[in-house]
Structure 1
Amino acid sequence: MADTKFDLIVVGGGPGGYVAAIRASQLGMKVALVEREHLGGICLNWGCIPTKALLRSSEIFNFIKHAKDFGLEVKGEVSAVLPKIVERSRKVAGQLSGGVKGLLKKNKVTVFDAFGKLAGKAGADRKVALVGKDGAATGEITAPHVILATGARARVLPGLEPDGKFIWTYKEALVPDVMPKSLLVVGSGAIGIEFASFFRTLGAEVTVVEMVDRILPAEDEEISAFAKKSFEKQGMKILTGAVTKGVTKGATNVTVTVEQGGKTQQITVDRVIVAAGIVGNVENIGLEGTAVKVEKTHVVIDDHCRTGEPGVYAIGDLAGPPWLAHKASHEGVICVEAIAGKHVHPLDTSNIPGCTYCTPQVASVGLTEAKAKAAGYQVKVGRFPFIGNGKAIALGEPEGMVKTVFDAKTGELLGAHMVGAEVTEMIQGYTIARTLESTEAELMHTVFPHPTLSEMMHESVLDAYGRVIHF
């Protein structure tokens, strides 16, 4: 092994790690990136990207089924060929993973195909031991700074341990061996709802079990309620305030006992997807004997991503919520620029947008109405429905809503929440507004193009102040 001494070592090549490595190289550092499996991490290979490819296929399938609504005639039966859908999804992921490899090479980042773990100090430097896929040690590298970006994995629920056949995590759900006729999804966060939406659109009978009193619990209550009605209209069954109590596996299916409101029922399905959160990958990365603090499986960091151990940093899912790729990437940049002595702005997690790519899509940034009130704000709330927007009607997508929450005293945009077509693209407008600390005045004076879905963002602001035009 030629080079063993670096300015920075990044352990983990996901959206946090590889972005940190590239930014560090741009700042003149000699960088090593240690990745044990796939460049691009879970997000690119087994998460964000391949799920969006699957969902795009189901979206087009749904459009074709409703072709006559657009004056189009499709001759013959339209069918979803699951192996082909999965094949396209894997090709998309593979293409982008190769792209990350090219970016790292372009930026002169040295990549080690190995498992990396902290291994003490070498003078003023930190040592990282490299372990091959066969478990054998392959060497050590050193640097004064080490960023841990090892990510997270699916949480396993007792009694619902994945078996690769009947009980799936997101990984098995991305490469299903069969198209299930019936499916039970445990958990209604972004991952659970996206898979529920995908399989329901392709024709599966889908039941969602959520332990709290509403689906998409991180979202504004109105948005959650709207989404629930839409999913149920599509034929999805949703059980809130419900928990799984046991599983019985048969020859070709699985029966799950679900308790809701003190009553139990048996639900027999072809497959179960468990999407009940994640846990940080804190094991076997050399934290023992260091001052790195772990809470609830996540590494504790300060606002510059520093751990309690000098020279050791943590970013992304390993460092806790929100568990989002764009949060990880931004933390990677903050961390590296702080190491380089640049002036950085600490990450404000309230300005991180969240997106769920179900049908209809859901997106949000900032405080919900309930959280704003709980924080002591007097609020002004605006709403605008998709049915009042010309572009939405022309697209044949008239179901949805945009909701904005303002501080009644200062006009500060506290939060924005959307459900409907393409809201995952629209939310960035409100995210920029929050970053710029905009008030209702700036948003009202902004000219939104017509005809676009974005006009609803303007109208929602106007509605909060009694000035809505088109509804």
Structure 2
Amino acid sequence: MASQTFDMIVIGAGPGGYVAAIRGAQLGLKVAIVEREHMGGICLNWGCIPTKALLRSSEVFHLMQRAGDFGLKADGIGYDLDAVVKRSRGVAKQLNSGIGHLMKKNKITTFMGEATLPAKGRVRVKTDNGTQELEADNIVLATGARARELPGLEADGKHVWTYKHALQPPHMPKSLLVIGSGAIGIEFASFYNTLGADTTVAEVMDRILPVEDAEISAFAKKAFVKQGMTIREKTNVTKLDRGNAGVTAHIEQGGKTETQAFDTVISAVGIVGNTEGLGLEELGVKVEKTHVVTDEYCRTGVSGLYAIGDLAGAPWLAHKASHEGVMVAELIADGQPHSVSPDAIAGCTYCQPQIASVGLTEAQAKEKGFDINVGRFPFIGNGKAIALGEAEGLIKTIFDAKTGALLGAHMVGAEVTELIQGYVVARQLETTEEDLMQTVFPHPTLSEMMHESVLDAYGRAIHV
């Protein structure tokens, strides 16, 4: 069979792969993309997007229960879980079809099937209609990752779930154990807790949300406990005994093991890169801890072969994958890319309250030897937050005392996932504390707290 030749072949059509393909096509490259399951990948179909749709439903439900706080009346408040899930799947489906349209618009050749790399510069795709042989000098691996499953905690889809089961639940949990308190675990804990599940979160590290600033983690924990969650830190779930009615979890804490019954368990203990079955080892690609090893330009060490997104390691974020996709396409097309610094990538968690951050935590800044100025501003001091009925939250900023550089920003509270971008832009532009202080923020907005936090770092806050 004759091979089809392209300038660039992308394997995986998630937020890294499809963006890389579009940018390559924009730059005049002849591009093919291979996807084995869903256009848009995990993020669009089973991750970022459908989870946000679910969380929006729980947020509205939470607000309905607080109707009296706003001078409103709402009787017989309830929810239909099937309808909530149906809306979530509809949002994902709408965007999935949109990716297909973008491929056609940009004249990208799409192959639906399983890809392997039989040799350097070659891709073999097993489709429903047979095998396709493709060739390109440049191949971009964007195969993503999947949920990590620990021995004894494997999902069964009945009482023990991964994120996929949690997005299409076979039942509404009454007693829920969430193992892992990263973004995925906390978002599902927040969703089901708001809908009434008796929710326990077990985290093996010494605090929940371990990648966040410790002060923000502590604030969030206090809010979750107030909402009725049970938070267990320095806790290891060692075994699950499964029965018809649910699961008995063996929970180890402080050297003691106890058992507790739950009708549902969600395992959110990290992810594993999709490296298997591609033929990477035979090509000489280095894989460490299930992730492809790359340089700052996503090059694998095998000429013409790149790896982006979750496959290439932390931070495991869709926007990081997309930016890497653009960078690699530009490197292939004209050799003038802009590398992506992990410190410049914001992380967002869409629980209640929301959490967002960029750059160094206070502890990291100190570890790196910076002399720092730290500013804080609480939501309770902001007029817009009080008017919204969202007076619980905190914004924290960390500056290099010598240069005024913004080292990090950390937030917890309403809409902080939208606010964080202001600090991301500030860091990208290498803004100093003086620039931020002299910026006029509109009133009344939540963004004014960003200004006040900067002022507070230098003893100049006005409203606190």
**TM-score of the pair, normalised by structure 1:** 0.97
In structure 2, what is the equivalent of residue 171 of structure 1?
A: 164
- Rounded to whole Å, the distance in 1 between the matches of 2:297 and 2:213 is 30
Structure 1 residue 407: deviation in Å?
Answer: 0.4
Structure 1 residue 78: deviation in Å?
Answer: 1.1
1:28-47 to 2 correspondences below 5 Å: 28-47=28-47
Structure 1 residue 342: deviation in Å?
Answer: 3.6
In structure 2, what is the equivalent of residue 16 of structure 1?
A: 16
Structure 1 residue 338: deviation in Å?
Answer: 0.6
Structure 1 residue 174: deviation in Å?
Answer: 0.3
Give the counterpart letter for 2:46 in structure 1. W
SS in 1 for 2:283: coil
1:264-279 to 2 correspondences below 5 Å: 264-279=257-272
Whether the 8 Å contact between 2:2 and 2:133 is mirrored in structure 1 is: no
Query: Which of 126, 129, 138 is 1:131 aligned to?
Result: 126
Question: CA RMSD, aligned part only?
Answer: 1.1
In structure 2, what is the equivalent of residue 60 of structure 1?
A: 60
Structure 1 residue 164: deviation in Å?
Answer: 1.1
Structure 1 residue 2: deviation in Å?
Answer: 9.1
- Rounded to whole Å, the distance in 2 between the matches of 1:66 and 1:188 is 27
In structure 2, what is the equivalent of residue 95 of structure 1?
A: 94
1:44-123 to 2 correspondences below 5 Å: 44-75=44-75, 77-121=76-120
Give the counterpart letter for 1:162 in structure 2. A
Whether the 8 Å contact between 1:193 and 1:358 is mirrored in structure 2 is: yes
Structure 1 residue 43: deviation in Å?
Answer: 0.1
- Rounded to whole Å, the distance in 1 between the matches of 2:280 and 2:244 is 43
SS in 2 for 1:288: helix
- Rounded to whole Å, the distance in 1 between the matches of 2:411 and 2:260 is 32
- Rounded to whole Å, the distance in 1 between the matches of 2:275 and 2:130 is 19
1:221-240 to 2 correspondences below 5 Å: 221-240=214-233
Give the counterpart letter for 1:118 in structure 2. L
In structure 1, what is the equivalent of residue 332 of structure 2?
A: 339
- Rounded to whole Å, the distance in 2 between the matches of 1:247 and 1:299 is 32
SS in 2 for 1:340: helix
Query: Which of 379, 387, 400 is 1:394 aligned to?
Result: 387
Structure 2 CA distance for partners of 1:86 and 1:230, relative to 1, 3 Å: same
In structure 1, what is the equivalent of residue 145 of structure 2?
A: 152
Give the counterpart letter for 2:127 in structure 1. G
1:367-386 to 2 correspondences below 5 Å: 367-386=360-379
- Rounded to whole Å, the distance in 2 between the matches of 1:346 and 1:245 is 41
SS in 2 for 1:119: strand
Aligned length: 464
Whether the 8 Å contact between 2:111 and 2:127 is mirrored in structure 1 is: no
User: What stretches of structure 1 move > 4 A for 4+ residues in a row?
Assistant: none
Structure 1 residue 363: deviation in Å?
Answer: 0.1
Mean Cα displacement is larger for which, 366-375 or 265-274? 265-274
Whether the 8 Å contact between 1:184 and 1:271 is mirrored in structure 2 is: yes
Instruction: Spell out, residue by residue over 1:250-295, the C-alpha distance to the aligned partner (whole angstroms, 9 max, x if none).
Output: 2111110101111222121111000000010000011132121111
1:301-450 to 2 correspondences below 5 Å: 301-450=294-443
Mean Cα displacement is larger for which, 195-204 or 136-145? 136-145
Q: Which runs of 5+ in 2 are unaligned?
A: none
Q: Which runs of 5+ in 1 are unaligned?
A: none
Structure 1 residue 139: deviation in Å?
Answer: 2.0
Give the counterpart letter for 2:282 in structure 1. G
Whether the 8 Å contact between 1:129 and 1:137 is mirrored in structure 2 is: no
Structure 1 residue 137: deviation in Å?
Answer: 5.2
1:200-215 to 2 correspondences below 5 Å: 200-215=193-208
Whether the 8 Å contact between 1:281 and 1:318 is mirrored in structure 2 is: yes
In structure 1, what is the equivalent of residue 5 of structure 2?
A: 5
Give the counterpart letter for 2:440 in structure 1. V
Whether the 8 Å contact between 2:191 and 2:351 is mirrored in structure 1 is: yes
Query: Which of 240, 256, 263 is 2:256 aligned to?
Result: 263
Give the counterpart letter for 1:264 in structure 2. T
Structure 2 CA distance for partners of 1:99 and 1:3, relative to 1, 3 Å: farther
1:281-300 to 2 correspondences below 5 Å: 281-300=274-293
Whether the 8 Å contact between 1:12 and 1:41 is mirrored in structure 2 is: yes
- Rounded to whole Å, the distance in 2 between the matches of 1:399 and 1:80 is 26
- Rounded to whole Å, the distance in 1 between the matches of 2:281 and 2:236 is 35
Whether the 8 Å contact between 1:183 and 1:272 is mirrored in structure 2 is: yes
Structure 1 residue 44: deviation in Å?
Answer: 0.2
SS in 1 for 2:6: coil
Whether the 8 Å contact between 1:9 and 1:145 is mirrored in structure 2 is: yes
SS in 2 for 1:5: strand
Structure 1 residue 341: deviation in Å?
Answer: 2.1
Q: Is structure 2 residue 455 aligned with structure 1 residue 462?
A: yes
SS in 2 for 1:410: coil
Instruction: Spell out, residue by residue over 1:74-93, the C-alpha distance to the aligned partner (whole angstroms, 9 max, x if none).
Output: 13x11111000000000000
Give the counterpart letter for 2:353 in structure 1. P
Structure 1 residue 132: deviation in Å?
Answer: 2.8
Structure 2 CA distance for partners of 1:2 and 1:102, relative to 1, 3 Å: farther
Structure 1 residue 340: deviation in Å?
Answer: 1.1
Give the counterpart letter for 2:159 in structure 1. F
Instruction: Spell out, residue by residue over 1:110-154, the C-alpha distance to the aligned partner (whole angstroms, 9 max, x if none).
Output: 000111111114xxxx11011136xx9512111111000000000
**TM-score of the pair, normalised by structure 2:** 0.99
- Rounded to whole Å, the distance in 2 between the matches of 1:248 and 1:152 is 28
